[in-house]
A and B are shown apart, each in its own frame.
Chain A
Amino acid sequence: DAGITQSPRHKVTETGTPVTLRCHQTENHRYMYWYRQDPGHGLRLIHYSYGVKDTDKGEVSDGYSVSRSKTEDFLLTLESATSSQTSVYFCAISPRDNEQFFGPGTRLTVL
């Protein structure tokens, strides 16, 4: 158990609404990540953080923003949700060597 929780675990929303997903860790790791998983694509990196208020973009960052005001929390915001953002979102931490340990995931459906 990597001490990572995600909330909510499931969410259904409508196109055009903002959505925020939360990732919380209990182990005080510096690095945190957001990925999305879609059939046929594996996992793709959205954004990552290397410390409080330090974030950078990943491969599929368009339409997403992130914030990290505390070490333990990393928030992912969909500014105006679209159907193409229907996905399973995984948060991860990395204690060493870029090895990722994943949270339980959030299943997001945008209607």
Chain B
Amino acid sequence: ELKVEQNPLFLSMQEGKNYTIYCNYSTTSDRLYWYRQDPGKSLESLFVLLSNGAVKQEGRLMASLDTKARLSTLHITAAVHDLSATYFCAVDTLSGGGADGLTFGKGTHLIIQP
């Protein structure tokens, strides 16, 4: 059974601090996805990581992928209140590069306090 585990599941941090969210998965997939969800809203695609060693950055968020360790990280630099949200990682449900849908982690609920 494919497992996608995020930690922590809940994180409260102060503005200006740095922190990392971890995503471990059990499949051999080379592709990993990060999403953001605001309360009561839909999911927004943040990053698509398509190969081992992939690194992508957008503003204060940086995502990386290590397929050998089956680990992705989402790093937050100098957090600001607007980054408060729930963050999900996801992997291909079936390895092989198809479009068979994603398996999601349970999400990390991030609160950034002034």
Contacts and interface: CB of A to CB of B under 8 A. Distances in A.
Pairing of A with B = yes
Contacts of A104: 41-42
Interface of B: 4, 31, 33, 41-45, 48, 50, 88, 90, 92-93, 98-107
A42 B107 contact: yes
* Top 10 A-B pairs, shortest CB-CB distance: A42-B104, A45-B101, A43-B104, A42-B106, A31-B99, A102-B42, A102-B43, A98-B99, A48-B101, A99-B48
Interface of A: 30-31, 33, 35, 40-45, 48, 50, 56, 58-59, 90, 94, 97-105
A68 to B, nearest CB: 14
Contacts of B4: 42
A35 B103 CA distance: 10
A90 B41 CA distance: 11
A103 B105 CA distance: 19
B42 A44 contact: no
